A and B are shown apart, each in its own frame.
Chain A
Amino acid sequence: MSLFHTKHLRMVSVIGLSFAFFAVVLPSAHAQDTATVTGVGSSFAAPLYQNWAASALKDINLKVNYQPLGSSAGQNQIIAKTVNFGALDMSTSVEQLSQANLVQFPTAIGGIAVVVNIPGIKENKLRLTGDLIADIYAGKITKWNDPRIVAMNKDLALSAIDIAPIYRADGSGTTQVFTSYLSKESEGWKKSFGSNTSIAWPTGMGGRGNGSVASMVKNMEGGIGYVEYAYALQNHLNTAQLKNLAGEFVSINEDTIQAAAKAADWIHARNYSIDLIDMKGDDSWPIVSTTYVLIPAFNKDSKEVTKFFQWGFSHGDEIASKLHYVPLPIVVKEKIAKTWEYAGVSSTDAKTK
């Protein structure tokens, strides 16, 4: 009987303790004087938003919770309004924006590097064109000493190594941009494969995420792949030079990405849906893309989001450059501020009201 009693006692004490635990934890979770905004989306932009968020918390007392679940997730969740903003690597169509009553604006610009692993070839020496890359990924060129590659690289000693084309196996905005570039450069590619977040690759092998593609190229002799510029730098990969619209061979760096961003016609772009692939200019890197944010129009929470990005645009350029993103040109930032006002989400009215 006494045993029975102690059992009861133990149970009661366990229940009591757990109540006490929740009583302590729950109010502390509610007691926040800082505003919080949540965002979901692009993994490409994640390092930028997370770094901005860490600094913005100190500066403007705004907590940003960003989860890199992928561009499609960002789009789905902002349409369902389960988050305060969605981040995408591609622009959303006007119909979709007006249907869901969303505002779109760009936040940063990034370049996609073509990386190779060919033994004996020095950093940034190999020259390629979009047409050649399309044929490599289509399986038409299979050796690194193919006459067409050699013709473009007479000064390099290319040996008969098999080419291993490596792509993103998961659906990704990077693939979307890269395949749009190939579609623009090669009619054959456009006809047979087109551009999408994931396509039916005819040959080669896939890795999961930018990081995996980078390490596969690094690991595999004869490999070629495409990754965000930051990943090429971090992994010390051998980038290739590409021929741009002006016919010049350019190598990827902040300046050539910036040149492409400057050459774009931002003022006339509707909803900032702009194509930064194959921009004019002698120094323009050909594969450049913007990353976007979607927020609901005429919404109180969106004002907090714009407050965060306003801070990012005015104070975050240094952080962006450190992470190898290219900040937006000033004209674009000014235009975005006007868009916010027009959509009733500007953070400056939040203060006056």
Chain B
Amino acid sequence: MSLKQSAYQSEKKIIPYLFSSLMWCGGALILLIFLGLIFELCWQGRQAFSAFGFHFITSTTWNPGNQEFSAGTALIGTLVSSFIGVILALPLSFGCAYCLNELLPQRIARYITAATQLLAAIPSIILGMWGFFILVPLMAHYVQPFLKHLFGPVPYLDLLFSGGTFGVGILTAGLILAIMITPFITAIMQEAFANTPTMLKESAYSLGATKWEVMHQVILPWVQKGVVGGVVLGWGRALGETMAVTFVIGNAHHVSWSLFMPTNTIASLIALEFSESAAGSLKMSSLMALGAVLMVISFFVLFCSQLLLKQVLKSR
């Protein structure tokens, strides 16, 4: 009996110990992988950083023939396309989440929620192909000529909508990104909407507030955090998206004011050039450096949004 008890005692000591050490290992491993990744990207990219210096980020030339590489074009393309994606996705997912939680009857909303979640599960290459075969011709034949016609006579704005209407370009890429990130933002917003206390809403209604007033004055302040969180998550995904963007962005090394012009993003540039870059070459090093730049932007976006979130929470 005493033997059994002592075995039990030692087991009681060992198992929690094992458990906590395993958890520690898990946590430390994540940190190590993270640091290792940054170190590796910077280390592999050192050749490019030392060859081009700060010009690597500011310059927009990409000429493999002359061994000139830079991140400028792809950096702008990444930021602008993901920004367009977020701007387009934000009202879409807000409307979707509001509609699902407040307006539609529970029975129907359940199915639509499932559908949006399925949309999130679509592999990006499928969306890319869909974008290329369906969206690009639609943009070329209807949307881009319409926008050109609409904003053509407006000074300054016409710059944004100049150039050939071939369907590909940064606007189409932004549109695809918007479709990709809408389900993510919607899911988080729905969570936030669901967490709004019913008491608050009911009391507002009982005071005679309209739906608009309740949304604007009660729900919106309550879900701010969810909205910002959803945007961050969506933006993070949009920044690193590769395949879908590659299909529709046009893959050109040009910076232009026009939203119709083909350009490039960091992720799609790396995917395109990787297989034809010799190991140890300046080009490979530049691609690694591009990867490091992309990581830095992602952190920056996350960091800024965290800061923003804190400000928003403090002001309440």
Contact = CB atoms under 8 A, between A and B. Distances in A.
B136 interface: yes
A164 B276 contact: no
A206 B166 contact: no
Contacts of A201: 252-253
B273 interface: yes
Given A205-B252, A207-B251, A208-B246, A73 B64 contact: no
Interface string B246-272: 110011111000000010000000011
Q: How large is the interface on B (under 10, 10 to 19, 20 to 34, 35 or more residues)?
A: 20 to 34
A138 to B, nearest CB: 14
A222 interface: yes
Contact of B250 (A76, A193, A206): A206
A267 B237 CA distance: 57
Given A72-B277, A199-B63, A169 B140 contact: no
Contacts of A296: none
B167 A220 contact: yes
Q: Which of A69, A169, A222, A223 is packed against the most chain B CB atoms within 10 Å? A: A169
B65 interface: yes
A71 B137 contact: no
Contacts of B246: 169, 208
5 contacts: A70-B276, A200-B62, A206-B251, A219-B136, A220-B168
A164 B65 contact: no
Closest 8 CB pairs of A and B: A171-B276, A205-B250, A206-B251, A169-B251, A200-B63, A205-B262, A162-B164, A70-B275
Interface string B50-89: 0000000000011111101000000000000000000000
A204 B262 contact: yes
A188 interface: no
B14 interface: no
A254 interface: no
B1 interface: no
A244 interface: no
B168 A205 contact: yes
A197 B62 CA distance: 13
Nearest to B269: A169
Given A162-B166, A196-B65, A197-B64, A204 B276 contact: no
A194 B276 contact: no
A219 B65 contact: no
Contacts of A162: 164-166
B278 interface: yes
B108 interface: no
Contacts of A169: 246, 251-252, 272
A198 B252 CA distance: 11
A172 B276 contact: yes
Contact of A199 (B64, B132, B254): B64
A204 B64 contact: no
A220 B140 contact: yes
Interface string A163-190: 0100001111000000000000000000
Q: Is the interface of B mostly helix, strand, loop or mixed?
A: mixed
Contact of B166 (A69, A195, A200, A220): A220
Contact of B65 (A170, A200, A206, A222): A200
A215 interface: yes
Contacts of B66: 200
Interface in B265-293: 271-273, 275-279
A71 B253 CA distance: 23
B146 interface: no
B133 A171 contact: no
Interface of A: 69-73, 75-76, 162, 164, 169-172, 193-201, 203-208, 212, 215-216, 219-223
Interface of B: 61-66, 68, 132-133, 136-137, 140, 164-168, 246-247, 250-254, 262, 271-273, 275-279
B275 A171 contact: yes
A198 B246 CA distance: 16
Contact of B273 (A71, A164, A171, A205): A171
Nearest to B263: A205
B261 to A, nearest CB: 9
B276 A170 contact: yes
B251 A171 contact: no
A76 B275 contact: no
A160 to B, nearest CB: 12
A206 B133 CA distance: 16
Contacts of A194: 65
Nearest to B250: A205
Contact of B140 (A69, A70, A208, A221): A221
B184 to A, nearest CB: 26
Nearest to B141: A221
A216 B249 CA distance: 12
A180 to B, nearest CB: 12
A331 to B, nearest CB: 33
A197 B166 contact: no
A203 B261 CA distance: 10
Given A196-B65, A205-B262, A219 B251 contact: no
Nearest to A220: B166
Contacts of A195: 65
B61 A200 contact: yes
A197 B253 CA distance: 15
B273 A198 contact: yes
Q: Which of the listed residues A75, A171, A201 has the most CB atoms from chain B within 10 Å of its own CB?
A: A171
Most buried by B among A71, A75, A164: A164
A341 B63 CA distance: 42
A199 B272 contact: no
A261 B240 CA distance: 46
A164 B133 CA distance: 17
A206 B251 CA distance: 5
A73 to B, nearest CB: 6
Given A162-B166, A169-B246, 17 more contacts: A73-B276, A162-B165, A169-B251, A193-B65, A195-B65, A196-B65, A197-B64, A198-B273, A198-B276, A200-B66, A205-B168, A206-B251, A206-B262, A208-B246, A215-B132, A220-B140, A221-B140
